[in-house]
Structure 1
Amino acid sequence: MTEQRKLPIVVLLSGSGSNLQAIIDSAADDLPVEIRGVVSNRADAFGLERARRAAIPTRVLDHTGYPDRAAYDRALIAAIDEYQPALVILAGFMRILTPDFVKHFQGRLLNIHPSLLPKYRGLHTHRRALEAGDRMHGASVHLVTEELDGGPVILQVRVPVEPGDDEAALAARVLTQEHRIYPAVIRWFAEGRLRVNRGGIELDGEILQGPMVMEFNQVTAG
Structure 2
Amino acid sequence: MSLRVAILISGGGSNMVRLLEDMAEPGHAGTPVLVLSNTPEASGLAKAKGFGVATAVVDHKEFGKDRASFEAALNETLKKHGVDIICLAGFMRILGAEFVAGWQGRMLNIHPSLLPKYKGLNTHQRAIDAGDDQAGCSVHLVTPELDDGPILDQASVQVRGDDTADDLAARVLIEEHKLYPRVLREFCENFVPH
Match for residue 100 of structure 2 among 82, 87, 102:
102
SS in structure 2 of the partner of residue 172 of structure 1: helix
Partner secondary structure for residue 9 of structure 1: strand
Q: Which 4+ residue blocks in structure 1 deviate beyond 3 angstroms?
A: 194-197
Structure 2 residue matching 1:29: 3-state secondary structure: coil
Partner of 1:19: 15
Q: Root-mean-square deviation (CA), in Å?
A: 1.4
**1:214 matched to which residue of 2?**
none
- SS of alignment partner, residue 24 of structure 2: helix
Unmatched 5+ stretches in structure 1: 198-222
Q: Which string of whole-angstrom CA distances, capped at 9 and with x for unpartnered residues, describes residues 88-121 of structure 1?
A: 0000000010111001111100000000000000
Residue by residue over 1:155-176, the C-alpha shift from the partner in whole angstroms, topping out at 9 and shown as x without a partner, is 0111111221111110010001
**2-side partners of 1:94 and 1:101: how far apart?**
15
**2:3 corresponds to 1:7:** yes
Check if 1:129 corresponds to 2:124.
Answer: no
Q: Which residues of structure 2 form unaligned runs of 5+? A: none
Aligned residue for 1:133, secondary structure, equals coil
Please tell me whether residue 63 in structure 1 is matched to residue 68 in structure 2: no
1:138 to 136, 139, 148: 136
The structure showing larger relative contact order (alpha-carbon pairs under 8 Å, at least 6 residues apart) is 2
TM-score, length-normalised on structure 1?
A: 0.83
Structure 1 residue 41 corresponds to structure 2 residue 41: no
Q: Distance in 2 between matches of 1:162 and 1:27?
A: 34
Q: Secondary structure at the match of 2:156?
A: strand
| 1:32 counterpart residue number | 29
Residue-pair matches, total: 192
- Matches of 1:163 and 1:131, distance apart in 2: 11
Q: Is the 8 A contact 1:189 1:195 kept in 2?
A: no
Deviation of 1:6 after TM superposition, in Å, equals 2.3
